[in-house]
Amino acid sequence: MLSKYSWPSLKPEEKRRLVLEGAGILFAREGVDFPMPSLAQELGVGIGTIYRQMGSKDDILAALVIERLGIFQAKYEALRDENDAFNALAAAVDYTVDQILIDQIATLSFDLALDRPDVAERRAQAAAVLQGLIEAAKATGELREDADVMDLRMVFRAARTAELLAPGGGRRLVALTFSGLRNHPA
């Protein structure tokens, strides 16, 4: 169980936070296919209580993905003010890949498979800030003119798989990709 608490005495936002924390723990431990009874057990409540509070497991997953996308967006926004646009973009990608390598929910954040309007809207907001970092790096001449967010989304998706193939593979993939995205003088 997550903690000792009296579920009925909690405020709705506290219940939501506990459900998301419990689901995050289970996603990390068991993957996205964990059964809802496991979450109920983790929280010490009945399954119906979770459905009343949050809806389905897909709703819980979407809430976690939206939360992660907000964290990514905040990081990207903080990097916009860096003096070196290419290094700011590299830092954004490094941060994202670091999170993806340790967090399945972060991996799903840029995955096209989770097709929900609320997720799509939040993903578009984060992607727009990331695209701004890309455009700033292009303006310096250091980044290829054809680079875009979809390139990075492919890298994010592939980094986790590369890490599974070989320890350090995800970071290696990013290094190779950034070498290819850098505008090399002729």
- The tens digit of pLDDT for each residue in 97-131 reads 999 888 888 877 777 556 789 999 999 999 999 99
Q: What is the pTM of this model?
A: 0.86
Provide the phi-psi class of 184: left if phi over 0, else alpha when psi is between -120 and 50, else beta. Answer: beta
CATH topology of domain 64-181: Tetracycline Repressor; domain 2 (1.10.357)
Q: Is the dihedral of CA 140, 148, 183, 155 positive or negative?
A: positive
Say if CB 62 and CB 119 are below 8 A apart. yes
Task: Enumerate the domain spans of the chain.
Answer: 7-55, 64-181
Residue with tokens 């709703």: 59
Residue 66 and residue 185: Cα distance in Å, rounded? 39
Residue with tokens 């057990």: 41
Residues counted in the chain: 186
182 beta partners: 143
Backbone angles phi, psi at 14, to 5 degrees: -70, -40
The dihedral formed by the CA atoms of 14, 15, 17 and 23, expressed in degrees to the nearest 10? 160
Say if CB 67 and CB 99 are below 8 A apart. no
User: Given this structure, which CATH class describes domain 7-55?
Assistant: mainly alpha
Residue with tokens 């907000």: 70
- What's the confidence (pLDDT) of residue 93? 95
pLDDT per residue as tens, the chain (186 positions): 555 568 888 899 999 999 999 998 888 788 778 899 999 988 889 999 899 889 888 899 899 999 999 999 999 999 998 999 999 999 999 999 999 888 888 877 777 556 789 999 999 999 999 999 999 999 999 999 999 999 998 999 899 899 999 999 999 999 999 888 898 765
- What's the confidence (pLDDT) of residue 30? 82
